[in-house]
Amino acid sequence: MKTAALPLAPTVATSPLVYVKLVFVTLFWGGTFIAGRIVAHALPVMTAAALRFAVASALLLLVAWQREGGLPRLSRQQVLATAVLGLTGIFLYNLCFFGALGRMPAGRAALFIALNPIVTALAAALLLRERLTAIKWAGIGLAFAGAAIVITRGDPVGALRDISQSVGLGELLMVCAISSWAAYTLVGRSALKGLSPIAATTYASLWGLLFLTVGAARDFASVEWSAIGWQVWTGLCYLGAFGTVLGFVWYYEGVKAIGASRTAVFNNLVPVFGISLAALLLGEQVLASMIAGGVLVAAGVTLTNR
C-alpha cells in the first residue's frame, strides 16, 4: 500500500541504490495483490485488514522510534486529520481492497490501482481548484481509455449493451478503493503540515487499526484460527511488513533523493509486477486487453504526472 505525505526536496547526490530500492518497492506493492487475494479467500474482509495493520502499526512504531525518537504530540487539527486519514486510506481502502480481491483476479485489480494518480488529479481539480493543463487532460483521457479496455476485456461496445457482464462488484470495489485513496492523498497534502511522513503514516495506521478492530470484533470469535494455513499468515506478514512499512520507508527515501515527480514514475511498474506475479504464482491468465489497456493507462499516468 502506498502512502501520502508532504513533498520532500531532492538531495544533490543520488546513489544508484535509491533506484534499486524503488524498483523493489513496486515489486512489493505488486505482490500485495497476490498476498491480498490469498488472505481474502481465507478470512473475513474486516479481520484480514485488521491483522494486516496490526503487523504494520507495530513495525511503524519501531521505525518512528528508531528514526525520529518516537511520535510527536498532535494538535487538535492534526488529531482530526490523522483520524480522517485512518478512515479513508486505511479503513475504507482496505475494506474495498480485500473485498475486490475476493471477487476478481489479482492481475486485473493491479491494473485498476494504476489509476490512483489520475483520480487524485481529478479530485484535486474539482475540490481544490488545482489547474489541469491540456497535456494533463490528454493523459487523463488516455488513462481512462486504457481502463475501459481492461474493464471490458477489450470490448467497450459490447460492454455498453450488457454492462453487468463486464463490471461486477469486484470492479466497483476497486473504484471505491481508488476514490478513498484519492481522499487520503488530498487530506494528507493539505492538513498534515508539520508532521513527518513516518509520523503521519503511523498515526493514520493506528487510527485505521482502531476502526478495523472495532468492525472485526464480531468476526474474531467465528474464525477457525487453527485451520488457517501458513500461506495466509505469510501473506498477512508480507502485507504488513513489505507491502506497507518497508515499501513506505524506501518510497520516501526515493522522494527525498530524486523528488516526488521522478519517484512517482516508478508507480507504473506496480501493475506490471502485479500481473506478472499473478500469472506466475496464481496461474492467472494474461489477456491481450490487459496488456493493451495497461500500456495506455501507464502512458496516461506519465503524461498527467508531467
Question: Nearest to residue 195, comparing CAs of 74, 41, 28?
Answer: 74
* Per-residue CA distances from 8 to 168, 203, 253 (Å): 39, 19, 9
Give pLDDT tens digits for 201-243: 999 999 999 999 999 998 888 888 888 899 999 999 999 999 9
Q: Give the burial class of 157: count Cβ atoms within 10 A of its Cβ; 0-12 exposed, 13-18 middle, 19 or more buried.
A: exposed
Residue 207 lies in a domain: yes
Cα separation, 236 vs 212, in Å, equals: 15
In Å, how far from its chain's centre is CA 245?
Answer: 12
Q: Is the pLDDT of residue 161 over 60?
A: no
For residue 6, tell me if it sits in a domain: no
> Which stretch, 35-49, 220-234, 253-267, has highest mean pLDDT?
35-49
Residue 283 lies in a domain: yes
What integer pLDDT is reported at residue 6 of this predicted model? 43
Number of domains in the chain: 1
Residues listed for the chain: 306
Predicted confidence (pLDDT) at residue 190 exceeds the cutoff of 90? no
Share of the chain above pLDDT 70, in %: 88
Q: Is 236 within the bounds of a domain?
A: yes
* Residue type at position 103: R
pTM: 0.83
pLDDT at 101 (0 to 100): 93
Task: Find the farthest-apart pair of alpha carbons in the chain and give their distance in angstroms, rounded.
Answer: 59
What gap in Å lies between CA 268 and CA 138, rounded to an integer?
17
State which residues form the domain around 215. Answer: 16-305
Per-residue pLDDT, 192: 64
Whether 8 is covered by a domain: the verdict is no
| Predicted confidence (pLDDT) at residue 179 exceeds the cutoff of 50 | yes
Q: Which amino acid is at 209?
A: L
What does the pLDDT average to over 76-81?
A: 90
Q: What is the CA radius of gyration of the chain?
A: 19
Has residue 11 been placed in a domain? no
What do you get for the CA distance between the two ends of the chain, in Å? 23
Q: How many CB atoms lie within 10 A of CB 77?
A: 12
| pLDDT band at residue 11 using 50, 70 and 90 as cut-offs | very low
Burial of 209 (0-12, 13-18, 19+ CB in 10 A): buried
Q: How far apart are CA 184 and CA 191, in angstroms?
A: 11
- Whole-number Å distance between alpha carbons of 30 and 207: 25
- Is residue 41 included in any domain, yes or no? yes
Q: Is residue 5 part of a domain?
A: no
* Average pLDDT estimate for 242-250: 91
Let me know: does 48 contact 39? Beta carbons within 8 Å.
yes
User: Cell for 117?
Assistant: 494518480
